Structure 1
Amino acid sequence: MKGYRRYITLVVLLFGGLILLDYFRPKPVDWTRTFSSKDKIPYGTYALLELLPGIFENAPIQAVQQPIFNQLQDSTLQGNYIFINQTFNADSLDTDRLLDFVKRGNYVFIAAESFSDNFTDTLRFQTKLLNTTDPDSTGLYFKNPALQGVYRYPPNNNTIYLLAGDSLKYTRLGGNKAGKMNFMELPFGRGSFFISTVPLSFSNYALLTIDQSEYAASALSHLPVAPVLWDQYQSQGMSGGNTSVFSVLLSHEALSWAYYVALLTVILFLLFKSKRTQRIIPIIEPPRNTTLEFVNVIGNLYYNNGNHKDIAEKKITYFLEHLRLHYHVATSEPEEEMRGRVVTKSGAAEELVTRIFNLIESIRRSDSLGEQTLLMLNTYLEDFYEQTLSKPEGSK
């Protein structure tokens, strides 16, 4: 455990040092174009959402965090549906819902630099990129004489403009200094679509940093004062989205780096400590079968002492046990029946079996035994074992 403490201490020190380093270092500006109302970065829309109550006085403002099709299933909804995003995505079902919503006398305001093909094909308009090096060409203005003035932005920002079909009934509401339209109204039924290609003009950067909040307020003032549906789904996703531990870790740069450093440390620890540090496990050999050696020793002991009778008795006992174990012959039954069963089940020659049992009977009646008789018994038994060794039990 003492060896591990050094690694644990090193990990803790690295983790703490990384957090302190990230805490005290200057934070770089995040220029990601999220257009999210919860982001205070330059291209979020936090400031615009805060300004909406002043633009739509006394009108309720509802944040929408679900797809268009789901939100507009309620056919009684009324008011303004506002979308501010880099790309406006709407499939055929979403587009049909929006058309029904506008047809009933409602209004949809969309500010985006690109639109899904299904949506543009249905409303019959296109977007194009303005190719120019003139920094004044991206200055924006409104067509309405009451909204005079040019709103200037950094060069090459807001360079997307609109092209409407020849048969399309639309109203040009705004353009840029290059003479291209970037804001229009498309009447449909009793309501209208308001299409803008300058979403950056509605960002925190435009409203706060370069103090051009009047453009966003003027553009939204084309909508009537009515309940507002503020879309957050296309910029933030479904409500109650992924809030797992890993998503929280990876959403903060400092925690992400700390997580990766800790993970790398664990991997290095496993690589360098993967070898076993315990003692070498000795190889345990299986126990040897010394039964045969024991039998030979005991046999030699009896033979050397000249006790042939005892040796013969033990061989006979082993032979009878062999018959009971391998051929299931009851050695207590009459001798004639037992001989027949042994011949039948063992497959040994009948003459050999007869000799063995005759010799066993003779040995049991005698008080002593000579060496020749013992050798004869041993020969008969060895012949019996040899004859029955290669034959299955119970076959002839």
Structure 2
Amino acid sequence: MNKTFKIYAIVFIIILIVVAMFGIGKKPALDWRKNFDVDKKTPFGLYIFDQESSGLFHRKLEKVRVSPYSYYQKNNQKKPHNILIIQKKLDDVSWQYILDQVSKGSDVMWFTNDTTAKLRDTLGFRFKTVGHEKNYYLQFTDKKLSDNRLFIDKFPENQGFSYIRNDIEILGKTLHKDKSNETSFSADFVKVNFGKGHFYIHSEPLVLTNYYILNSKNKYIESVLSYLPKRETVWFIENDTPLSMSPLRFIHSNPPLKYAWYLLLFGLIIFVIFNAKRKQRIVPIIEPLKNTSVEFIRSIGNLYLQEGDFHEMMAKKAQYFLNRVRMDLLIDTHDLDAQFINKLHLKTGKNIELIEEAVKLIKKGQDPYASVMKEELIRMNQLLDKILK
């Protein structure tokens, strides 16, 4: 281990120690986002409700992570049941399937503060902002449940129902106090009849989150859910991002470990860059070999032309032509007879008289005692080029 590497290692270790010291004792920031995620343990996640849901629904709960459309396509003959929806938006086709199930006798418990055209036009009410208080109470209109009220003190939605039809039953109200300490009420939990079934709509989905379940001192949640009949309940859970299966998921889930991991990678990259820069030798430039075949052939051709040996040039040309016929056309060139001429005619499609003339000149070039004129060499060269063109 050289001296330079030791220096890099010591500096890197010191940086890691400094980062670790800053991370020790630092409390992670609390995530107050309203995610309504069953896998989140943050204040406004649904982790605790998800863990306790089986008991709340008398062990008759089915959790579904597909759309109502996909679910009821496979369960179209399902008996009347309960449907649970928490802050979930439905597509138009799924909404029609929900309406079909409710009209046949199913009941829907829907926690939402979002006014959609589906709720407004079909069920006959709207949401509105009913105040700007930082805290208020939710209580039931049923006097038997008056003690089971819930105090909302963290990021309340301040949403209630307005334009309610006369046939809609109000099950819960929100108690507001203005600056003069006068109390007013607004509906937050209603029952809507639809066909043979019912819609139960609650405008404050925060009541199901981890924070309010842990801080509840009574049975408010149980009282809300008690309006559903004791039968099978189908809970349509929002489709979340699947859990990462990466081996580094534990490191990425802890900010100090994640920062240390990135720092390690960054340090290794810097080390490799500087180390390679110091040790990399200069790569010599090697000129590629030049192809001198063309120059060689031109020189040989000029030599034959200057000597006037047309017979030798005709023989070389004939030899080159027959070699190409063997290699490219796969024709035997041992006997330059009528069969050879016919095969060459069939494979090249050239005029048979042209081929016969070329074969005659080839044979003359192969005859060592034949006298060859310049015009014959030129003619044979033209014929052979036409045949293989």
TM-score by length of 2: 0.64
Name the structure 2 match of 1:204: 210
> Are the equivalent residues in 1 in contact too, given 2:312–2:365 (CA < 8 A)?
no
Name the structure 2 match of 1:345: 377
Q: 1:145 & 1:40 partners in 2: Cα distance?
A: 34
Q: Does 1:220 align with 2:211?
A: no
Q: Which amino acid aligns with 1:236?
A: D
Deviation readout 1:306-330 (Å, 9 max, x if unpaired): xxxxxxxxx9697864564368774
Q: 2:72 & 2:314 partners in 1: Cα distance?
A: 94
> Are the equivalent residues in 2 in contact too, given 1:33–1:44 (CA < 8 A)?
yes
Name the structure 2 match of 1:163: 162
Q: Does 1:175 align with 2:173?
A: yes
Name the structure 2 match of 1:125: 125
> Are the equivalent residues in 1 in contact too, given 2:315–2:366 (CA < 8 A)?
yes
SS in 2 for 1:101: helix
Q: 2:383 & 2:7 partners in 1: Cα distance?
A: 68
Q: 2:21 & 2:131 partners in 1: Cα distance?
A: 46
Structure-2 change in CA distance of 1:91 and 1:147 (3 Å)? same
Q: Which amino acid aligns with 2:95?
A: T
Q: 1:180 & 1:285 partners in 2: Cα distance?
A: 88
* CA-CA distance at 1:242 after TM superposition: 5.9
Structure-2 change in CA distance of 1:148 and 1:343 (3 Å)? closer
The worse-fitting range, judged by mean Cα deviation, of 172-181 and 250-259 is 250-259
> Are the equivalent residues in 2 in contact too, given 1:206–1:212 (CA < 8 A)?
no
* CA-CA distance at 1:47 after TM superposition: 2.4
Name the structure 2 match of 1:284: 287
Deviation readout 1:98-138 (Å, 9 max, x if unpaired): 11222222211011221543343322322222343x445x3
Name the structure 2 match of 1:60: 60
> Are the equivalent residues in 1 in contact too, given 2:134–2:156 (CA < 8 A)?
no
Name the structure 1 match of 2:301: none
Structure-2 change in CA distance of 1:263 and 1:214 (3 Å)? same
Name the structure 2 match of 1:325: 316
Which of 75, 81, 84 lines up with 2:83 in the alignment? 81
Q: 1:11 & 1:90 partners in 2: Cα distance?
A: 56
TM-score by length of 1: 0.63
Q: Which amino acid aligns with 1:111?
A: F
Q: Which amino acid aligns with 1:93?
A: V
* CA-CA distance at 1:189 after TM superposition: 1.9
Aligned positions, number: 316
Q: 1:130 & 1:97 partners in 2: Cα distance?
A: 32
Q: 1:197 & 1:6 partners in 2: Cα distance?
A: 64
Q: Does 1:69 align with 2:60?
A: no
* Structure 1 residue ranges without an equivalent (≥5): 293-314, 348-390
SS in 1 for 2:152: coil
Instruction: Say which one has the larger Rg.
Output: 1
* Structure 2 residue ranges without an equivalent (≥5): 177-184, 296-305, 319-361, 385-389
> Are the equivalent residues in 2 in contact too, given 1:331–1:338 (CA < 8 A)?
no
Q: Which amino acid aligns with 2:240?
A: Q
> Are the equivalent residues in 2 in contact too, given 1:79–1:107 (CA < 8 A)?
yes
* CA-CA distance at 1:29 after TM superposition: 1.9
**1:355-370 map, 5 Å:** none
SS in 2 for 1:42: coil
Deviation readout 1:253-277 (Å, 9 max, x if unpaired): 4465466556656765787688792
**1:1-396 map, 5 Å:** 25-57=26-58, 59-73=59-73, 74=75, 75-85=77-87, 88-132=88-132, 134-135=133-134, 138-149=136-147, 150-154=149-153, 157-166=156-165, 169-178=167-176, 179-208=185-214, 210-232=215-237, 234=238, 236=240, 241=242, 243-245=244-246, 248=249, 252-254=253-255, 257=259, 260-261=262-263, 277-284=280-287, 286=289, 321-322=312-313, 324-325=315-316, 330=365, 333-334=368-369, 337-339=370-372, 341-345=373-377
Structure-2 change in CA distance of 1:13 and 1:34 (3 Å)? farther
> Are the equivalent residues in 2 in contact too, given 1:90–1:116 (CA < 8 A)?
no
Structure-2 change in CA distance of 1:345 and 1:189 (3 Å)? same
Q: Percent identity?
A: 19
Structure-2 change in CA distance of 1:120 and 1:100 (3 Å)? same
Structure-2 change in CA distance of 1:245 and 1:146 (3 Å)? same
Q: 1:53 & 1:251 partners in 2: Cα distance?
A: 31
Q: Which amino acid aligns with 2:195?
A: G
Q: 2:251 & 2:125 partners in 1: Cα distance?
A: 40
Structure-2 change in CA distance of 1:156 and 1:247 (3 Å)? same
